[in-house]
Every structure is written in structure tokens, then in C-alpha cells.
């Protein structure tokens, strides 16, 4: 099969005021460049007249990427920072201020909000709708969590926004290997794709296996590995609206009753034996009894 490598270097994530989403994208970008370690751990300040270490050189490159990602109005406040870690810590301290809390007691909710507003001058933004690239829709029936916007950003970032969708994330019967004789591809791009897809598995368990499979070959990816990664992107093209729905139950008893019904049904199908010992039971339609 002919293969066309039409990827270009993804743009540096620009800070748009939403720290949590930007920091997630920027961390993934820096990891793909193998600079994340110096951002988190920091490096010793350089001494005039002494040659820079490998870590200090990486720190300079990481600082350059951060400078390019941050708006000019903010840039003036970080130019005095000595290391990439200093810049990252400053951005986190100044812009990371979202707090999410959950519970079932309305009274405690109100008391907690009042105390936070008094102690930290925080404001109540209401029900959560968007956080760390995740979209949350809450209703009387339950909670739906998806990453539709993030999926579109991934497709745009890796030049796949106009690709043809496929029905499965992995080609049937696909068996990947190290492919030592295959044509090498840009490992940086490949790592960025894998990293982006890994974060997406938070709400998309349907791609978990496929992403785990391609993540094994990040060190020396070849065309067949990149083709498998692009297959996942094509699958996402047709399933942007997929996500996780947490159905609201009337009581814990209802859930326990369902578990008992499912357990009894499985035992009946297997004649009391474990599923693994009955070759006829592969994919029981449990939904039909719930």
C-alpha cells in the first residue's frame, strides 16, 4: 500500500487564558521534544565562562518554546525568569485557579462555597461544563463527559481534519512489530500523536487498546506504525461525539439488583461454570437484561 507522509510540525500551543487546557497541551508538546524533565526538575543557573551542560541547553530550548507560546502582554512579566521551570511555576501560580468539588449534600455544598469565597476571594462559576479539555453535560438522567473539542484540535493539529472516517480504530487482524527494515518516520511527530491520543482515552475507552498498541513503538517508529496511528485519527473523525454517560440511578439498591440479575443470567448461560471454561460464551448481550 502506498504511504504518503503529509504531516507537518504541529504549532506550539498558544496560551489563550485557559491555563488548564493550555498546560495539558504544552506539557504534551514539551514531552515530545524531550524537554519536560528540565521544566519539572529545573537546572542549575549557568556560570559565565563555563560551557553549558546538556540539561542547560535543553532548558534554553524549552524557554524559547514557552516564550513563543505566551502572549506579548504576559511575556514581559516572565522575561526575567532564569529557567523554564521558573516560567512554568509562575504561569501555574498566576493562572491555575479552578477548583472542582462534588458531593450529594446541598447544605455542605453551600457552606463550602461560602468559606472558599471568604478565605480566597473565589467566585462561584456554577455547574461544571468544561475542564481540562473535557466537556461535561449534566441532566436529570445523568452526566455525559466527552472531548469533542479536543478531538477536533487533534485532527487539526496533525493535518487530518479532512480525512475519510473509518468504522474501527484498528484494522482487523493487524499485528504490529518493530519493523526494523521499514522506513523511519519523524519520531517527534509520532510521540505527539500518541501523547494526544493517550489523554483522549480518559473519555474514550474504545480506543484504549489501539493507543496502547501504537505506544509500544515510540522509540523507532516506521511507516506502518504511523499508518496505524493515522487509522485511529480517521476513526475519531467519524466518532467525535462519543463519550462516557454516567446514568443516574434512583438508589444503590437498584444497582445491586442489576448485578444480581446479571450474575444469575451468566451462571444460567454457563450452567454454573466459569465463563473462561465455556467456549460458547464470548460476548453475552448483558444490555438486553438490564
d(CA 112, CA 101): 9
Task: Tell me what percent of the residues of the chain surpass a pLDDT of 90.
Answer: 13
d(CA 199, CA 182): 28
Strand arrangement, sheet containing 130-131: 130-131, 134-138, 142-146, 243-247
**96-100, 145-149, 189-193, 204-208: least confident range:** 96-100
Give pairs for 26-31: CB < 8 Å, separation 24+: 26/66, 26/69, 28/192, 28/195, 28/196, 28/199, 29/65, 29/192, 30/62, 30/65, 31/191, 31/195
The reply to whether the predicted model has a pTM over 0.95 is no
pLDDT at 165: 93
d(CA 162, CA 237): 8
**Overall average pLDDT of the 111-121 stretch:** 76
Range among 70-79, 95-104, 152-161, 266-275 rated most confident: 152-161
d(CA 16, CA 74): 11
Q: Is the pLDDT of residue 285 over 50?
A: no
**Overall average pLDDT of the 148-177 stretch:** 88
Sorted by sequence, the CB contacts under 8 Å of residue 83 that are 6+ apart come out as 38, 42, 43, 45, 59, 63
Mean pLDDT score of the chain = 78
pLDDT at 98: 63
pLDDT at 276: 41
Q: What pairs with residue 59 in β-bridges?
A: none
Q: Between the CA of residue 83 and those of 45, 79, 166, 256, 273, what are the distances in Å?
A: 8, 10, 45, 54, 62
pLDDT tens per residue across span 29-71: 888 888 898 998 888 877 777 788 888 899 999 988 888 888 7
Q: Which band of pLDDT confidence, cut at 50, 70 and 90, is reported for residue 97?
A: low
pLDDT at 236: 94
Beta carbons of 130 and 136 less than 8 angstroms apart: yes
Amino acid at each position: 500500500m502506498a504511504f504518503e507522509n503529509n504531516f507537518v510540525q504541529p504549532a506550539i500551543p498558544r496560551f489563550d487564558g485557559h491555563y488548564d487546557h493550555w498546560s495539558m497541551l504544552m506539557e504534551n508538546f514539551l514531552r515530545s521534544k524531550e524537554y519536560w524533565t528540565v521544566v519539572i526538575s529545573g537546572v542549575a543557573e549557568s556560570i559565565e565562562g563555563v560551557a553549558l551542560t546538556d540539561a542547560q541547553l535543553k532548558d534554553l530550548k524549552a524557554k524559547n518554546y514557552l516564550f513563543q507560546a505566551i502572549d506579548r502582554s504576559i511575556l514581559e512579566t516572565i522575561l526575567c525568569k532564569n529557567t523554564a521551570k521558573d516560567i512554568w511555576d509562575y504561569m501555574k501560580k498566576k493562572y491555575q485557579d479552578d477548583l472542582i468539588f462534588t458531593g450529594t449534600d446541598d447544605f455542605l455544598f453551600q457552606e463550602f462555597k461560602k468559606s472558599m469565597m471568604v478565605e480566597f476571594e473565589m467566585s462561584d462559576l456554577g455547574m461544571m461544563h468544561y475542564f481540562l479539555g473535557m466537556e461535561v453535560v449534566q441532566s436529570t438522567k445523568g452526566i455525559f463527559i466527552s472531548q469533542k473539542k479536543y478531538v477536533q484540535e487533534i485532527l487539526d493539529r496533525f493535518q487530518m481534519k479532512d480525512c475519510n472516517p473509518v468504522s474501527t480504530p484498528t484494522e482487523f487482524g493487524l499485528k504490529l512489530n518493530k519493523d526494523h527494515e521499514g522506513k523511519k518516520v519523524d519520531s517527534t511527530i509520532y510521540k505527539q500523536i500518541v501523547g494526544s491520543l493517550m489523554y483522549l482515552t480518559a473519555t474514550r475507552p474504545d480506543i484504549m487498546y489501539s493507543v496502547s498498541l501504537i505506544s509500544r513503538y515510540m522509540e523507532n517508529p516506521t511507516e506502518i506504525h504511523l499508518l496505524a496511528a493515522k487509522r485511529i485519527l480517521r476513526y475519531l473523525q467519524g466518532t467525535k461525539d462519543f463519550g462516557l454517560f454516567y446514568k443516574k440511578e434512583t438508589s444503590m439498591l437498584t444497582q445491586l439488583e442489576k448485578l444480581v440479575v446479571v450474575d444469575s443470567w451468566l451462571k444460567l448461560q454457563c450452567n454454573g461454570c466459569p465463563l473462561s471454561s465455556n467456549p460458547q460464551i464470548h460476548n453475552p448481550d448483558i444490555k438486553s437484561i438490564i
